[in-house]
Amino acid sequence: MDNSTDLATATNKAADNASGRASVTLPTSEQVADEITSQEHELPRQTQAESDWLGFDQIPLTPVDPRHYTQVLCETIITTLVIFSALSVFIILVAELPILVALPVLLVLGLAFSVITWLRYAHAKSIAFAVCDHELLMQKGIVWFKRISLPYTRLQHISLSQGPLERKFGLHTLKCFSAGSGSAEIELPGLESSTAEKLRQHLLAKAGIASQSRNANINPDSSLNPEPGINSSFDTSSETSLKTPTDTSPDTHSERQESKPASLTTESER
């Protein structure tokens, strides 16, 4: 009995020491957040003059493949010819408009389709992009000029698509999706097949590196990993706690065996 009580007290002391050591070495989430905010406040902050700003126009942009211009032109001409033919048949045969009325209408339609064809061709020539160290840039537009900058930290998914005419000209369209958006942030057409695949792999690699560096800055290993001595103390305490029932069981079993003959002798004496 003395041995079992000594072993139980030793086990309790080991558990108390382990819990005390864990409470001292493991910082709470509030302490980690306070440490990060204090480090952010200690960072030097300097303002930059307007002359030191890096403008979008200062970055050289790469135009898309010239075959994309021909592909857009052919696609627009085929579409407009089909629509113009269908409208001509409807105006002349179905509506049966007089020639003096049908000709001006068809002339206006032909002029409108010509303007649409030119606008699509000019829009295709306005597309350009740039692959930077930390982001992907793209610009497009004629009347409504648009410039897009997608950081690699927000890049989540990249896909390549190819239509019938793009397959004929050997081109692909690169689509970049960011985190939390259902549609593509950047849709870059007119890329040659081998160039599109290389660019996709390069952007995925850049996105992986950016996400790893961001996770390393948010969750530093030194503040989250406990000391190795804590695990060993918990292991030893668990082993001793498991061994105590097995060690005390033979003593109690022998005491029960000794008590049984004593009861038998008292009955025999009676």
pLDDT tens by residue, 94-117? 878 888 888 999 999 999 999 999
Average pLDDT estimate for 141-145: 88
CA atoms of 79 and 46, how far apart (whole Å): 56
Q: Find out whether 147 and 124 touch, Cβ atoms under 8 Å.
A: no
Q: Find out whether 91 and 109 touch, Cβ atoms under 8 Å.
A: no
Q: What is the model's pTM?
A: 0.60
Residue 224 pLDDT exceeds 70: no
CA atoms of 122 and 117, how far apart (whole Å): 9
User: In the structure, what pLDDT confidence band is assigned to residue 36 with cuts at 50, 70 and 90?
Assistant: low
Q: Find out whether 130 and 59 touch, Cβ atoms under 8 Å.
A: yes
158 alpha carbon, distance to own chain's centre = 11
Average pLDDT estimate for 137-145: 90
Exposure letters 57-86 (e unless 16+ CB within 10 A, then b): eeeeeeebbeebbebbeebbeeebeeeeee
CA atoms of 110 and 88, how far apart (whole Å): 10
Residue 257, classified by CB atoms within 10 Å of its CB into exposed (0-12), middle (13-18) or buried (19+), is exposed
CATH number of the domain at 62-215, out of 1.10.3470, 2.40.128, 2.30.29, 3.30.70? Answer: 2.30.29
